[in-house]
A = this chain, B = another copy of it.
Amino acid sequence: MDGQERGRVGLSNFGSWPHYAGIALGLPNYWYPATWSKRVGRRPLRIELLGEAIMLRREAGKVYALGDICPHRGVPLSMGRQEFPGTWSCVYHGWTFDLETGIVRAALTDGPQSAVCGRVRVRTYPIAERAGIVFLWMGKGPPVPVEDDMPDEFLRPDSVIVGRLTIRQGNWRYAAENSVDEGHAAFLHRYHSLWTKFTRMAGWIVSLQGGDRRGDWVVRTADEIGGVGEFPGLGRWPKFRFWNRAPGRVTVSYRLPGNIRVAYGRYNHYNWYMPLDRERHHYFQFLVAQGNWLQRQVFRLRYWLYRRWLFHVRLNNQDSRMVRLMPETEPAPLYRPDASIAAWRRLCEEARGETV
């Protein structure tokens, strides 16, 4: 018996995703949360996003983003210095670029009449700051409004937003799939985790279609929630302890370009998976809630006291370990709960093209 082959046959209703293999470096025509606003100052910050090196820098309160490779000899512009306001000079020969347009305004070491002026350009990226976060438009065409690519509640004045930004191993698609995947939580997160220790977690949650479309979001719906099962020839699973309490209702939704929301009722948890290169991704985690000033401070306090460590660090590190170990080999024999992964891949097939 060729198990691999038979497994695929038994689940062949999943179809295939022609473009999915080609987006290892992500979907360009979207806004991405690049970093926290407070991390961008006068000294350049170099980041890598969708395989491109980008230099972020704030001048006179505004954030600018330039491609971080000097077109002359290829050294990183982020090593350079400011000689004149509104410009940035490469450390090597003093080629001086306009922060707004990326055009060379002077090649200082060639004197004032240099023929290079106005004729060479480095790529610039549209920038927007919202809710204490720097968003970057990675497309080549004109950007859509940044509000189109962020959840509405990020903009509400009574929202409190806390979170964590890290670089993790593994391709971003598998990180997104792990997040969308309804099967892993019931097993991977059941053990070795303080966050779920007191929860009566379902044994299985199956969403036959993988999710319903609601505007930009796909909402994962549960067609079957399994408590405890009697497995033929094996026995009952899962085993509950007296301290396991029934959990609240959790709803998982996701949308392009790789943003997952887990609604816990009193607050929402957001993940953004953004390719750095083929083997690594940026992982931006947020908890968002609404309330008056005091409630917001309490929420912030609880995040830093335990939610950050138990949920965003320890629980989500269980996910990271899986994403890091998942090999880049497709297709695997999917099983019924992978319907949500199939739905996510279908969604990627509809990704936004070049904006005009």
Contacts and interface: CB of A to CB of B under 8 A. Distances in A.
Interface of A: 1, 3-4, 6-7, 10-11, 69, 71-76, 79, 81, 83-84, 87, 89-96, 102-112, 114-116, 119-122, 181, 183-184, 186-188, 191, 203-204, 206, 224, 226, 229-235, 237-238, 321-322, 325-327, 329, 332-337
Contacts of A109: 183-184, 186-187, 203-204, 337
A115 B235 contact: no
B322 A75 contact: yes
Contacts of A119: 3, 6-7, 10
Given A103-B3, A110-B183, A203-B109, A116 B75 contact: no
Contact of A3 (B106, B120, B204, B237): B120
Copies in the complex: 3
Contacts of A4: 71, 120
A24 to B, nearest CB: 16
B188 A92 contact: yes
A229 B165 CA distance: 45
Nearest to A341: B73
25 contacts: A3-B71, A3-B103, A3-B119, A7-B71, A10-B115, A11-B116, A69-B327, A71-B332, A73-B326, A76-B325, A79-B325, A83-B234, A83-B237, A84-B231, A90-B187, A91-B187, A92-B322, A93-B337, A105-B234, A106-B237, A109-B337, A110-B204, A110-B336, A111-B206, A116-B335
Contacts of A183: 93-94, 109-110
A92 B337 contact: no
Given A110-B204, A111-B224, 4 more contacts: A4-B120, A6-B119, A108-B186, A109-B186
A81 B106 CA distance: 61
